[in-house]
Amino acid sequence: MLTQVPISWFLTLSAVLFALGVAGFLFRRSIITVFMSIELMLNAVNLSFITFSYHRQSIDGHLFAFFVMVVAAAEAAVGLAIILTIFKNRATLSIDDVDSMKN
């Protein structure tokens, strides 16, 4: 069944998802949305890994996909904690207001 679907479709979908993630990361103000965009990019990359893994009949791609998931889970935990703290301290979720490193 998968054999009927050409590999380029999967890669195109992955690229579209990644581009959406980049666009969301760049153009949205809310930190939550930016965060979700990052997850989207990670998953787009995962899709590419799995596709190549299947295509090459190799386990390496899977391995990388699991690594990315683990990192993404850890990142989500830490990231959400940071977002919560920011909101508590600043009462804002706009990414442009969080610029105290500037100057």
Residues making contact with other proteins (CB under 8 A): 22, 25-26, 34, 95-96, 98-103
Q: Compute the least distance from the CB of residue 33 to other proteins, in Å.
A: 12
CB-nearer residue toward other proteins: 59 or 99:
99
Structure tokens at 67: 């690594």
CB-nearer residue toward other proteins: 62 or 83:
83
Separation between Cα atoms, residue 31 and residue 38, nearest integer Å: 11
Structure tokens at 93: 């979720």
Structure tokens at 48: 């590419």
Q: Compute the least distance from the CB of residue 60 to other proteins, in Å.
A: 21
* DSSP character string of 50-100: HHHHHHHT-SHHHHHHHHHHHHHHHHHHHHHHHHHHHHHHHS--BGGG--T
Q: Compute the least distance from the CB of residue 2 to other proteins, in Å.
A: 28
CB-nearer residue toward other proteins: 26 or 59:
26
